[in-house]
Amino acid sequence: MARLHLFDLDGTLLHGSTAPVQISRQLGREAETVALDRAIAEGRIGPPEYAAQVYDLWADLTEADVSAAFETAPWLARIREVWAEIRSAGDYCAVVSLSPSFFVERLLDWGAHAAHGSRFPAVPFTEPVDPSGVLSAAAKVTIADRLCQDFGVARADCVAYGDSSSGKDLFAAVPVSVAVNADAHLAGLATHSYTGRDLWDAYSLVRSAR
């Protein structure tokens, strides 16, 4: 039976940072976004409020800014190699993130079978962000179930990779999980734990298990 590998983005594929912080850095608004990241991590704001506030920070965002943010972000090493290996084994890999879809979907070019993020309008913005399109931790499970249907696998065939509270629901829903540079929110929930900057090493923890 094929497996579906489900990867978080912020703090997982990105080491010690988030896509919104990397985007805001291009606009000179990194400090404001770091503060928002702290607020959502501490539960003082929710995903819709977070999305609305970063949307306001990005009023003058351009495609060039997004490209620069993506290209200079602190990615873990060997992401593309891991996804190529997953594909060659007949398995599937997907990214499910609360970060903006216009950033997350760029990972399709790196070999992900699917990439889902919070739905933002196209850049440059000419319409508001729709709160109903903003993802939550629970929404990750819903998307995972839909991907299972698309790829013909079951939850029992899924492996989740994450680092924080946004992965708690998904870690609880699938049988195998890898905490990657994780915080205390995932303590005791993960099947495996990895600290470092190379995705291949994290993937190796589950590579041979079927």
84 alpha carbon, distance to own chain's centre:
18
Domain 4-15+75-205, CATH class in plain words: alpha beta
Phi, psi at 160, each rounded to 5°: -110, 140
Phi, psi at 191, each rounded to 5°: -70, -40
Residue 1 has pLDDT above 70, yes or no: yes
* Nearest-angstrom CA–CA distance, 181 and 15: 8
Strands of the sheet containing 4-7, edge to edge, are 114-118, 92-100, 4-7, 158-162, 176-180, 192-194
3-state secondary structure of 116: strand
Position 16 scores a pLDDT of: 94
Q: Write the CB contacts of 89 (distance below 8 Å, at least 6 apart in sequence).
A: none
pLDDT band with cut points at 50, 70 and 90 for residue 20: very high
Residue type, 201: D
Residue type, 130: D
Angle between helices 30-41 and 47-57 (to 10 degrees): 180
Residue 96 has pLDDT above 80, yes or no: yes
- Range with lowest mean pLDDT among 54-58, 76-80, 109-113, 180-184: 180-184
Query: Minimal CA–CA distance to 168: which of 142, 147, 196, 187?
Result: 187
pLDDT band with cut points at 50, 70 and 90 for residue 209: low
**CA 95, 31, 129, 127: dihedral to nearest 10 degrees?**
-120
Query: Minimal CA–CA distance to 207: which of 173, 166, 159?
Result: 159
Position 52 scores a pLDDT of: 95
Query: Minimal CA–CA distance to 60: which of 126, 14, 10?
Result: 126
Query: For the chain, which residues make up each domain, given as ranges?
Result: 4-15+75-205
Residue 185 has pLDDT above 80, yes or no: no
**Greatest pairwise CA separation for the chain in angstroms:** 47
- Range with lowest mean pLDDT among 79-83, 94-98, 102-106, 187-191: 187-191
> For 131-140, what is each residue's pLDDT tens digit?
999 999 999 9
- 115 within 8 A of 79, measured Cβ to Cβ: no
pLDDT mean over 156-177 = 93
Position 210 scores a pLDDT of: 59
pLDDT band with cut points at 50, 70 and 90 for residue 125: very high
Phi, psi at 77, each rounded to 5°: -70, 150
